[in-house]
Amino acid sequence: MEASYVLIAMSTDERGQGLATVAQDLELASVILSDVEKLLYHTRGSVPTAIIIEDDLISRVQNLDLIALLRRRKPLANVPLVCLGQDKPERHVAALSSGADVYLNLPTRPALVKANLQRLLERRQAEASLRETLVRLRDFEQAYKESERVKDDLTHMLVHDLKSPIASVMGLVDHSIEIIESSTEAHGIVELLSLARAESQHLLNLAANILDVRRMKEGHMPFNPAWIERLSDLAQQSLKDVNSAPRDRQFGFLIRPEAEKLFADSALLRRIMANLFANAVKHTRSGGHIDFRAWKKDDEFVLSVRDDGEGIPEEDQKRIFNAFEQSRHTIHDRYDTGMGLTFCKLAVEKHGGSIWVESKVGRGSTFFFTIPVNVGEGLELDDITVSKA
């Protein structure tokens, strides 16, 4: 029985009817029983809002503590229970010891039963609210601990992962100064400073990804989708954001005509592609092949970046887009924090798409992501601007 009701268990049905007004005054239904066997059977599959039970009914069953038996049933453990009986101290004590909340002497008035029952129901509601509050507090505590864990991971990454590129920048700059001072190998200054700039750009990209991952998770990242007329142009621009990539790798682009024009946030899409290009560069050797492709499938655009690099172990593929967790050394001995892929995942999901990887160790990786055709659905016409990427 799913409706809220008061279970009235009395020695006779007539006595039970006399207390039916109590349930009615509390705006509850009532079920009246005068048989112990029926009472036990009924409470196996039904949980009343409250129970009124007469001590005379309990006394019919020898060597059986009926109230204690009901309380042992987990759903009934906290149900308000009022016991009605004769003015006998020993019965009074026995009922309370067995689990009754209140023992009222007979004869009694329905109004007195109602007042006690109402107080018990209010107390039960207050306890339920308290339990809900405790659950919310535990959830808050768990979220706080998770936040602290992320902060600890971030601190670890800043201390250990940024240290290497910063040291490289400082070393290159110091060496450049030495060359300038000696003025005998000035021809090497440009190359060294270019390397220093590449490492500095790596730091800037890493910092940008860290900040923007946090902004996205907090819902503060701007999202301005507009028409992109030529995806091929945007892909070429994103490739230029990758340090020294065209010089060190062979790139191919294959964009089907129906995928040239799409509706998306061009800034986010450009960074998604740049991060995937940078990831491919980090995990392929000099001279490796990297291909970008895009096509339309049903109601979404599919974009992919494929490389012939080292590949990703199967056990890592499930967590490759989680910040910090997939950190690993690249084949160029650079420590990869994975923040770029985390940014890609959040940016793709911001568009309503999905991202995944297919890879085999030693045979390269292909990262796929989708952009729905109807990204701009629901936007006002005035909000849509044409962007020639």
Gap between the Cα atoms of 54 and 72, Å rounded = 19
Tokens of 47: 């949980």
Query: In the chain, which residues fall in CATH 3.30.565.10?
Result: 226-387
**83 or 160, which is more confident?**
83
Tokens of 271: 């960074």
* Cβ atoms within 10 Å, residue 360: 12
pLDDT at res. 174: 76
CATH code of domain 226-387: 3.30.565.10
Among the residue ranges 80-89, 180-189, 237-246, the one predicted with the least confidence is 180-189
pLDDT at res. 379: 41
HSE-CB for 265 with a 13 A CA cutoff: 16
Query: In the chain, which residues fall in CATH 3.40.50.2300?
Result: 5-129
Which DSSP symbol is given to 370?
A: E
Gap between the Cα atoms of 251 and 175, Å rounded = 33
Q: How confident is the model at residue 270 (pLDDT cuts 50, 70, 90)?
A: very high
347-378 residue pLDDT tens? 999 999 999 999 998 889 999 999 999 875 54
Gap between the Cα atoms of 293 and 307, Å rounded = 12
pLDDT at res. 319: 81
Q: What is the mean pLDDT of residues 121-149?
A: 88
pLDDT at res. 290: 94
Which residues touch 282 (CB under 8 Å, ≥6 apart)? 330, 331, 332, 334, 336
CATH class of 5-129: alpha beta
Using DSSP, state whether 116 is helix, strand or coil: helix
Q: Which residue, 121, 42, 73, is CA-closest to 31? A: 42
pLDDT at res. 200: 74
HSE-CB for 49 with a 13 A CA cutoff: 21
Gap between the Cα atoms of 77 and 358, Å rounded = 53
pLDDT at res. 368: 97
Helix axes 189-217, 339-350, angle to 10 degrees: 50
Q: What is the mean pLDDT of residues 175-187?
A: 68
Query: Residue 303 is which amino acid?
Result: L
**204 or 226, which is more confident?**
226
pTM over 0.85: no
Q: How confident is the model at residue 388 (pLDDT cuts 50, 70, 90)?
A: very low
HSE-CB for 328 with a 13 A CA cutoff: 18
pLDDT at res. 222: 85
pLDDT above 90 for 317? no
Q: How confident is the model at residue 104 (pLDDT cuts 50, 70, 90)?
A: very high
Gap between the Cα atoms of 244 and 280, Å rounded = 13
Q: Which residue, 210, 367, 375, is CA-closest to 304? A: 367
